[in-house]
Homo-oligomer: A and B are copies of this chain.
Amino acid sequence: MRSSGCSGEPAASAQPADSAGLIGPAGALGVTRLLYDGAWLEAQRRLERRLAEAGLEPRFDRAGSLYGRLAGTEAGSGVVLTGSHIDTVRRGGPYDGAYGVAAGIAALAALRRFCGPPQRTLEVVSLCEEEGSRFPLSYWGSGTMIGRYGLEGAARYRDAGGTTLEEAMLSAGFGRPEQPHPRRGDLAAFVELHVEQGIVLERGGEGIGVVQAIVGQRRYTFTVAGEANHAGTTPMRLRRDALAGAAEMALAAERAAVRRGEPMVATVGRIAAEPGTPNVVPGRVVFTLDVRHDDAQALEAFCRELLEELDGIAARRGLELQGELWMDAPPAPMDAGLAERLERAAARRGLAVRRMASGAGHDAQLLSELCPAAMLFVPSRAGISHSPLEFTEEAQLAAGLAVLIDALYELAYEERVP
């Protein structure tokens, strides 16, 4: 039916990898694009050129998110947006975020080529930041779109090297008043295509996952303070060893999550000891804790009880414990109507579809505050992600793109615009 309005089948020719090589092999060291660093900037510039070649009017917003635009014929009918994030974890895989950006560009390029101008304006976005890998905050891109973050607050956040988010933003060429403000008030819908990053689809044999809700998550940074002392002359019973205390706390978090059962997860991802010398009892340790669950009450109760347990460990060892909660994202339901539409589009392609929750956080959870938002997942081999081993088969990537194209066509070309 779609072909009625199109000169050909957009999905037939579109390839998600067809976006200036944004998705390449990860290599042994994986892919590392941190907010505003050199690799990040180079990738955004490449995408900007790719958008221009495809006739998709590129523009950066003030935060550094890159948009491509396919103008619609019906003014004021709102913008249908797709895309994902460009940044990665350290040594991450090639698909996390990048697939949704590459597929979004490929989708709009194919729709423009075969179907001409839509009624509703279509846009694709390469969001500047989602992972929280460099600065102690996440969703800088979508957070500035919805107003959770104001650009003026960027001076408050520092990376491990002491550089502020504001300094990094300015040095990358963003944050200038003449650049368009990231806030959006004109979105009609957001569809994010992403790799699952889990093993659910592979185990169930489905080709497409349609996300019903995104888990809530909390991220803490804990500082354990004891007393630095000589490793040879300080008897064990006289020590206030911050690292031994932190190790006991990390195991307590793991044990509590196992005891609570799925889908509860708790992760200590970063740890550093000071002074960090083999022959000195550590006097200070800083570590992070990431906790997730799709039920708000369960998440709240788990964190409250765990923090009490950590305080007890610190007290027993004569250590001081300080915890900073720097991320607290509640579970986010996706738009039911939009999710059903994605489900039908996948079914029409003959794909097995699973309704599921997302164990990973995504920009869609923030943009769902602005407009109806939904997510499409494709399988991740062995459920591995945030790793150089992250992999999804070409056919699965193409299937996800085809469903995205169909859904965007429906939303922007077919839907009755009031």
Contacts and interface: CB of A to CB of B under 8 A. Distances in A.
Interface of A: 30, 89-92, 131-133, 138, 196-199, 215, 217, 219, 221, 227-238, 241, 243-244, 246-248, 250-251, 254, 257-258, 262-283, 288-290, 292, 358-361, 380, 383-389
Contact of A383 (B233, B247, B265, B272): B233
Please give me the 4 A-B residue pairs with the lowest Cβ-Cβ distance, nearest first: A198-B233, A247-B247, A231-B267, A233-B359
Nearest to A228: B387
A208 B248 CA distance: 39
A264 to B, nearest CB: 8
Nearest to A251: B247
Contact of A90 (B131, B221, B276): B276
Contact of A91 (B131, B271, B275, B278): B275
Chain A interface SS verdict (over half) = loop
B290 A231 contact: yes
27 contacts: A89-B275, A90-B275, A90-B276, A91-B274, A131-B279, A132-B278, A132-B279, A133-B277, A197-B230, A197-B232, A198-B230, A228-B387, A229-B384, A230-B384, A230-B386, A231-B386, A235-B262, A235-B265, A243-B250, A243-B268, A244-B251, A267-B280, A269-B280, A270-B273, A278-B289, A278-B290, A280-B387
Given A232-B361, A247-B247, A281 B269 contact: yes
B258 A292 contact: no
A215 B243 contact: no
B281 A238 contact: no
B254 A250 contact: no
